[in-house]
Amino acid sequence: MMLRRFCCFSTSASSSFASAPLSSLNKKRRLVFLGSPQVSASVLDALFSASSAPDSLFEVAAIVTQPPSGRDRGRKITPSPVAQRALDKGFPSDLIFAPVKAGEESFLENFKSLEPELCVTAAYGNILPSKVLKIPSLGTVNIHPSLLPLYRGAAPVQRALEDGVKETGVSLAFTVRQLDAGPVISCQRIDVDDQIKAPELLELLFAQGSELLLRELPSIFDGSAKRKAEEQDESKATLAPKITPKESWLSFDQEAITLHNKVRAFAGWPGTRAKVMIVDPQNGQSNTTELKIITTRVYNGAKAQSGDADDVVFNKGSLIFPCGRQTALEVLEVQLPGKKVVNASAFWNGLRGQKLKRI
């Protein structure tokens, strides 16, 4: 079946989410949540918590997420983090939908039957067609981890870090057919630390986005949010295209700050990689290997370079890679293929006197 539910993952539902009489359901607004990855699960937690309050204005009527996928070496089929979180909370499995595409007729029929008043999306990962957007009477709102209209698209946090921004934020906006272009209800700005990586920043922004959503829900339900929402300035719009594994390679011809920002941006997935050469000074034999670069910072010390221009030296617990424009990158943690992440000291000791060169 194209429409997939999660009945196979849950045999019973907690009494806290048990079906209630229609008369009691009508007292609360029916909200449907759409999300998939772990950061979305934190938003779902916030909605569950708020909806359980005695004076809550809404209930979580259903959840829409990405289909189950094989996530480990055994290719065991597992639900998305959002689906798993809902099941762990005892949410009814027959109210968790995972269509391959949101425009599937079978899904649309079930979605309409829910009579949702509001949809909330947070990193759902699927484009919502007009047929879906027209169903909720109050519309659809999205938690987007950027200051719209900046960084519209699939990878706003990663592209912002790659650009080395000093400030970013999270926006709550109405969803329209054009990508991330709907009127903005509210936003929250934050300063960006020059060491924070994408997974940590994503977590922080979605946590703040949850607070923003809960604060604005009353205005969304009474209609005032639509009146106050501001149209985006299209002249300031920038795009944040999806990251590809091909982009993960580092080129040490670039400046150190560019490489450092890329390491931060691509942390988690797909990571950043570099080709290095390990040379035995006794016999001159060399071996080229791939090195995953985990944690870095820009080197600001005195000139550490000695010998050939491509030599990597070890200094105070860091591998110092020479980079473009006479800059240098401190590499603090690395990972060899098939090995665990280690700090620079452990890696350098493992070389046993061999030289390390950049490529």
What is the SS3 assignment for 190? Answer: strand
Mean pLDDT score, 46-63: 97
User: Where is average pLDDT lowest: 26-30, 164-168, 237-241?
Assistant: 26-30
Total number of residues shown for the chain: 359
Give Cα 349 to chain centroid, integer Å.
35
Q: Which domains are present in the chain? A: 29-240 (3.40.50.170), 245-358 (3.10.25.10)
The Cα–Cα gap between 257 and 252 comes to 11
pLDDT for 85: 98
The Cα–Cα gap between 318 and 299 comes to 9
* Higher local confidence (pLDDT), 346 or 11: 346
Count the alpha carbons within 13 Å of 259 in the hemisphere toward its beta carbon: 30
pLDDT for 73: 57
pLDDT in tens, 134-183: 999 999 999 999 999 999 999 999 999 999 999 999 999 999 999 999 99
* Higher local confidence (pLDDT), 39 or 77: 39
pLDDT > 90? residue 305: no
pLDDT in tens, 246-302: 999 999 999 999 999 999 999 999 999 999 999 999 998 999 999 999 999 999 987
Are 63 and 29 in contact by the 8 Å Cβ rule? The answer is no
pLDDT for 301: 83
**In percent, how much of the chain has pLDDT > 70?**
90
What is the SS3 assignment for 232? Answer: coil
What token pair was written down for 145? 């981890």
pLDDT in tens, 173-232: 999 999 999 999 999 999 999 999 999 999 999 999 999 999 999 999 999 999 999 999
Instruction: For residue 4, give the DSSP letter.
Output: -
What is the SS3 assignment for 133? Answer: helix
**In percent, how much of the chain has pLDDT > 90?**
87
Bridge-partner residues for 334, per DSSP?
A: 293, 342
